[in-house]
């Protein structure tokens, strides 16, 4: 459902999709139902095309030829779908381990909209420490800005990649103009955001109520990017008990035409991040095997395949 799986279709279907930009899902392959993004290929693999399934009704051609964010371009099929969704959908949900590019790409899209369209950039995440649930807003001394500093800093590597050595200058200028804002989930009550790009990172640590509370604050002319890693849940919840799982797995999401969901799998940070990803997947699989009910309800992110 979240991975970009490959399906075989006729060359005629591929040609029609490329020509008309969309096709009824029923005219292509009934096996595609329930998927989000797919890679369609003919029998000889001489033709292939990426497509998005919208509202469980139609296939839309995913063309990323002219899509880039601050000079960044897609590096694989999953990233191509991610770029396309960031450009074309109001809400993008992206799953992926550290090093797959999910946060940096989202930041590049948000920064580009800030430069070109003056859209405010809202960077948000839950204040949860690694390995435990803790509201840092109450635990850290100082005003709101001081309390949020550790969470603001987590966005800095990505912003530095995009903006270079002048990153601090840009952030200072944007803060003075009110074009960038760092928010904790716990401080979202009563807020309202319009004409902005809101990036919600570490969403695997949120309950359904918390996640809905954030997204319901977003108004017109805005784009929202929800990011999460199912293998790194710091609240000690099981994946299928998290708000991100329940939100992404809902029928309302599947029936929506303004949402794109994709999982990034390729590692670009280095061998250490890849090794950690493999170890987390290995132990996640072992834990799942000890719980039959867990296996039947959890979309397992192991070996690049989701098991339902």
Kindly list the domain boundaries of the chain, sorted by start residue.
1-63, 65-266+282-297
Extract the tokens encoding 233. 């849940």
Confidence (pLDDT) at 143? 59
65-266+282-297 maps to CATH 3.40.50.1820: no
From CA 18, how far away is CA 75, in angstroms rounded? 21
> What is the number of other CB atoms lying within 10 angstroms of the CB of residue 202?
22
CA distances (Å), origin 3, targets 74, 192, 261, 264, 266: 16, 32, 9, 7, 11
Closest CA to 76 of 19, 4, 167, 23: 4
Candidate from 8-17, 30-39, 190-199 with smallest mean pLDDT: 30-39
From CA 59, how far away is CA 53, in angstroms rounded? 5
From CA 181, how far away is CA 32, in angstroms rounded? 40
From CA 74, how far away is CA 65, in angstroms rounded? 10
303: phi then psi, degrees, rounded to nearest 5: 65, 20
* pLDDT greater than 70 at residue 300: no
Q: Considering the domain 1-63, what is its CATH architecture?
A: Roll (2.30)
Chain-wide mean pLDDT for the chain?
Answer: 83
* pLDDT greater than 60 at residue 137: no
Confidence (pLDDT) at 186? 78
Is it true that 1-63 and 65-266+282-297 share their CATH fold? Answer: no
Closest CA to 264 of 149, 113, 106: 106
From CA 75, how far away is CA 66, in angstroms rounded? 14
């Amino acid at each position: 459902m979240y991975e970009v799986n490959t399906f075989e279709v006729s060359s005629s279907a591929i040609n029609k999709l490329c020509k008309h930009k969309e096709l009824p899902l029923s005219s292509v392959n009934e096996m595609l139902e329930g998927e989000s993004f797919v890679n369609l290929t003919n029998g000889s693999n001489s033709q292939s095309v990426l497509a998005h399934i919208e509202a469980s009704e139609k296939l839309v051609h995913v063309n990323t030829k002219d899509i880039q964010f601050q000079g960044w371009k897609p590096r694989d099929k999953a990233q191509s779908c991610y770029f396309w969704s960031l450009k074309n959908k109001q809400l993008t949900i992206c799953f992926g381990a550290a090093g797959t590019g999910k946060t940096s790409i989202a930041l590049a899209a948000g920064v580009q909209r800030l430069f070109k369209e003056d859209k405010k950039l809202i960077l948000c995440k839950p204040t949860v420490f690694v390995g435990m649930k803790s509201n840092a807003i109450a635990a850290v001394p100082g005003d709101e800005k001081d309390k949020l500093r550790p969470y603001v800093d987590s966005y800095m590597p990505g912003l530095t990649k995009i903006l270079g050595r002048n990153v601090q200058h840009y952030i200072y200028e944007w803060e003075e103009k009110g074009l960038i804002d760092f928010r904790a989930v716990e401080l979202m009550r009563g807020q309202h955001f319009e004409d902005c790009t809101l990036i919600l990172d570490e969403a695997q640590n949120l309950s359904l109520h918390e996640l809905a509370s954030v997204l319901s604050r977003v108004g017109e002319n805005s784009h929202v990017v929800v990011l999460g890693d199912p293998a790194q849940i710091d609240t000690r919840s099981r994946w299928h008990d998290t708000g991100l799982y329940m939100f992404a797995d809902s029928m309302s999401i599947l029936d929506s035409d303004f949402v794109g969901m994709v999982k990034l799998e390729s590692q670009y940070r280095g061998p250490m991040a890849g090794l950690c990803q493999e170890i987390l997947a290995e132990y996640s699989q072992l834990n799942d095997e000890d719980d039959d009910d867990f296996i039947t309800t959890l979309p397992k992110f192991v070996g690049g395949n989701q098991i339902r």
